[in-house]
Amino acid sequence: MRRPLTVLALASCLVIAMATASPAAEPVKIRFTLDWKLQGIHAWYYWAKAKGYFAVENLDVTIDQGEGSAAAVTRVMSGAYDAGFGDINAIIQNAATKPGETPIMVYMIYSKAPFALLTKVGGPIKSVKDLEGSKLGSPAGGASFKLLPLLARQNGVDYGKIAIMQVSPSLQEQMLIRGQVDSVAVFTATSYINLVSLKLDPDRDFRWMYYSDLGLDLYSNGIMVSPKLAREHPEAVRGLLRAINRSLRETVENPDAAIALLATEEPLINKDIEKRRLLYVYKTLIDTPEARDLGIGDVSDGRLASAIATIATSFELPRVPAAADIFDRSFLPARVDRIPPTVAP
């Protein structure tokens, strides 16, 4: 006759456990995925973790490295991750076919998209018009490549007259340097640093033609959260953004300390290269005139609507998703806290 006693004991334990657990407010667990392997541009997430900014907001954040900024979106959609650093254009594409399941962008970081055409200064391509009849190299799956037909149409270039060569991402700069192609469609943050690693001067010897200056004005990577996290723990999302916003500004103001801290996480990174990557990305993609006007993290509604329309046309989406399903500014910290810091040139 000991069984009823055991049940009673178990039940009372459970009641006590529940009673003690709820008022103590357990930290909210957030599994966070990056867009790629550890690089200088991820310094602020590790900074926030190491300095305890996540803990202050009662968050328990685990950071995992990623396999691509579009894959980060599917990782959050699968439920394996609650939040991540990923590509808004991939959110737009997924929102068209699976509305209600896609993550929501809550803090835009790259307010200028890193898609560009790269050519040699002495080469035959002086403007986008010269693409006709020239050889262009690009990896097949890259976003820069997929947007190319639309870029050509916007600029009155006959896409059929461009000779396209498929090249692997690790070889595209080499192909350009050797003259096997006249231009390459690249991701600037990666290409710029590749050229530096190849001991070349990316500013003096190469011309960068940003898609955003050629009529394709898109947004890019930012912080996104799962709809479930936004619905069930809105305060946690606000806390996450407060912590990341603060770290981003401190990281940019103290790049050496930030990279040194990143190197304790992963001693194999090349500190000089990662610092240069961090500052290059900050200056070209984050500290834009729009970010100075609206603050880092926010977007212009008009620009976002036209970016969604652009993606819907170039990827032939079945429907155009509503801007409210893509971006939500209600979790952002106050604008005074989001003013981009200036860095020494």
Q: What is the binding site for another protein (CB under 8 A)?
A: 31, 33, 36-39, 63-67, 71, 74-75, 78, 80-81, 170, 190, 193-194, 197-198, 266-270, 273-274
Backbone angles phi, psi at 151, to 5 degrees: -60, -45
Q: Which is nearer to another protein, 274 or 328 (CB)?
A: 274
Q: Which is nearer to another protein, 8 or 140 (CB)?
A: 140
Min separation Cβ 225 and another protein, Å? 16
Q: Which is nearer to another protein, 63 or 96 (CB)?
A: 63
Min separation Cβ 296 and another protein, Å? 25
Q: Are 176 and 119 in contact (CB under 8 A)?
A: yes
Min separation Cβ 300 and another protein, Å? 32
The secondary structure of residue 53, as a DSSP letter, is H
Min separation Cβ 227 and another protein, Å? 17
Q: Are 45 and 247 in contact (CB under 8 A)?
A: yes
- In sequence order, what are the residues at sequence separation of 6 or more whose Cβ sits closer than 8 angstroms to the Cβ of residue 58? 25, 27, 28, 236, 239
Q: How many residues does the chain have?
A: 345
Min separation Cβ 67 and another protein, Å? 5
Q: Are 68 and 255 in contact (CB under 8 A)?
A: no
Q: Which is nearer to another protein, 130 or 265 (CB)?
A: 265
Q: Which is nearer to another protein, 77 or 151 (CB)?
A: 77
Min separation Cβ 308 and another protein, Å? 26
Q: Which is nearer to another protein, 132 or 266 (CB)?
A: 266
Q: Are 327 and 108 in contact (CB under 8 A)?
A: yes
Q: Which residues pair with 187 in a beta bridge?
A: 115
Min separation Cβ 250 and another protein, Å? 23
Q: Which is nearer to another protein, 214 or 224 (CB)?
A: 224
Min separation Cβ 78 and another protein, Å? 4
Question: What's the order of all strands across the beta sheet hosting 206-210?
Answer: 163-166, 135-138, 183-187, 115-120, 206-210
- DSSP codes joined into one string, 248-297: HHHHHHSHHHHHHHHHHH-TTS-HHHHHHHHHHHIIIIIS-HHHHHH-TB
User: Residues of 120-155 as b/e, b for ≥16 C-beta within 10 angstroms?
Assistant: eeebebeebeebeebbbbbbeebbbbbbbebbbeee
Q: Are 85 and 223 in contact (CB under 8 A)?
A: yes
Q: Which is nearer to another protein, 73 or 214 (CB)?
A: 73
Instruction: Identify the helix (H) or strand (E) that includes residue 213.
Output: none
- In sequence order, what are the residues at sequence separation of 6 or more whose Cβ sits closer than 8 angstroms to the Cβ of residue 164? 136, 137, 138, 148
